[in-house]
Structure 1
Amino acid sequence: MNAPVSDPPGGRRVLPIAGGPPAERADAVRNRRRILAAAAEMIATRGADALSMDEVARAAGVGVGTVYRRFRDRASLVYAVIDDREREFQRDFLAGPPPLGPGAAPAERLRAFLHALADRTEEQADLLLAAETDSAYARFNDGSYALYRMHLAMLVARHRPGADAVYLADALLAPLAANLFLYQRRVLGMDLDRVKAGLDAMLHGICPA
């Protein structure tokens, strides 16, 4: 039996924006900024594949233990580098104007979300690839993915009551894994409009008008 996906009494479901760090000491804030700046510089100059926790520590002027205390692995560090753009994207689909934000029909919001996520993936595909492939389940362990799934499952359940909304949410997100996205864009030569048209076709099969 499928778990229901519904709004709380009296209002719209409010989903948390992922990635907000707790208040920190001034020295901890400085260390975090140094680490992120060093990681961003390394990625910009040498590519995400060259990112090394040891080298980031040396470039930031901190101990490697400090890096690992702040970021448990390379995937966490890469996600922190891309976090600002992710926060903006989450604000847009949680509280921005329709059709991406609240106020449009579920099917319209689903389509707007998939197109916006395709644009978001296009912007930082190499960084997302590095983060998502750092371990077998890195993509699914990230808080952003859980938020995407919850958001899409909520919309699917509104459009198709009784459907396996969580499974269908995963199915809608699968084509936007960074490795498949980059393969289609760079190896197969698909342009972004073609990718979005494919997402529309899949969405129509899952949530027909």
Structure 2
Amino acid sequence: MPVSAPDPAVPPERKPRKDAVRNRAAVLAAADTLFTGSRRPEDVTMSDVAAAAGVGKGTLFRAFGDRTSLIRALYQERLGPLTAAVAEGPPPLGPAATPAERVPALLDALLCFKLDHRHLALALEGTGADSPYGTEHYAHWHALLRDLLTGLLPPTEADFTAHALLAATRADLVEHLAGELATPREELRARLAAHTARVLP
């Protein structure tokens, strides 16, 4: 069978250059380190990230556009394992588990993620017009939790209850409890589990 010639109207798919891939990895690693070590996430600037990554500011802006886009890209990369576990992982977090199993497992996983990435989460939630409710990731987790709760609660209660439960994993609350009050990690997890159990039937 003859091989058809490529359509000149369709541009060939271009792979990212190796140096671009390397620079992106260096930028994300540098940003992660800076946010982790910062006392105030809002003080981390694009200039700081570029210097720490060893790239020019122009390279940084071409790759990510602006600070908000950089934060979102870093957050999405760090969130990847949790997103995959929720989509296709084993119980209790994965789709094979019952809603009664998945709801507390999901909230615990989100809390642990916020504990592990406290300042990055604060930085991200600060990009939603100073409200976490304006960020894309919040809409995603709220919709998932609401759908799970619909199988456990009256439909009129599921939406609000999803908001109320997610409020317990807000980055500013996690920072207050774990950072300012130095509440131990396992104590926070136990308190959230107990609160969730009281809410669910």
Residues in 1 aligned to 2:168 and 2:57: alpha-carbon distance in whole angstroms: 36
1:29 to 21, 29, 51: 21
Structure 2: 5+ residue stretches without partners: 1-13
Residues in 2 aligned to 1:148 and 1:45: alpha-carbon distance in whole angstroms: 27
TM-score with structure 2 setting the length: 0.75
- 1:196 matched to which residue of 2? 189
C-alpha displacement of 1:90: 0.9
1:77 aligns with 2:70: yes
Query: 76-85 or 40-49, which moves further after superposition?
Result: 40-49
1:166 aligns with 2:140: no
Residues in 2 aligned to 1:75 and 1:59: alpha-carbon distance in whole angstroms: 18
Q: Secondary structure of 1:100's match?
A: coil
Aligned residues of 1:75 and 1:132 also touching (Cα < 8 A): no
Structure 1: 5+ residue stretches without partners: 1-22
Residues in 2 aligned to 1:48 and 1:75: alpha-carbon distance in whole angstroms: 16
Counterparts of residues 13-162 of structure 1 (less than 5 Å): 25-26=16-17, 28-43=20-35, 49=41, 50-60=43-53, 62-137=55-130, 139-162=132-155
- 2:8 matched to which residue of 1? none
C-alpha displacement of 1:101: 1.0
Equivalent pairs, count: 187
Aligned residues of 1:74 and 1:134 also touching (Cα < 8 A): no
C-alpha displacement of 1:179: 1.1
Residues in 1 aligned to 2:178 and 2:36: alpha-carbon distance in whole angstroms: 20
TM-score with structure 1 setting the length: 0.73
Aligned residues of 1:78 and 1:130 also touching (Cα < 8 A): yes
- 1:178 matched to which residue of 2? 171
Q: Describe the shift of the 1:39–1:163 C-alpha distance in structure 2 as closer, same or farther (beyond 3 A).
A: same
Q: Percent identity?
A: 36
Q: Secondary structure of 1:163's match?
A: helix
Residues in 1 aligned to 2:102 and 2:189: alpha-carbon distance in whole angstroms: 14
Residues in 2 aligned to 1:40 and 1:189: alpha-carbon distance in whole angstroms: 22
Residues in 1 aligned to 2:49 and 2:89: alpha-carbon distance in whole angstroms: 35
Higher RCO (CA < 8 A, seq sep 6+): 1
Query: 161-170 or 63-72, which moves further after superposition?
Result: 63-72
Aligned residues of 2:71 and 2:123 also touching (Cα < 8 A): yes
C-alpha displacement of 1:69: 4.5
Residues in 1 aligned to 2:96 and 2:73: alpha-carbon distance in whole angstroms: 31
Aligned residues of 1:71 and 1:77 also touching (Cα < 8 A): yes
Q: Give RMSD over aligned pairs.
A: 2.9
Q: Secondary structure of 1:176's match?
A: coil
Structure 1 residue runs of 4 or more that deviate by more than 6 Å after TM superposition? none
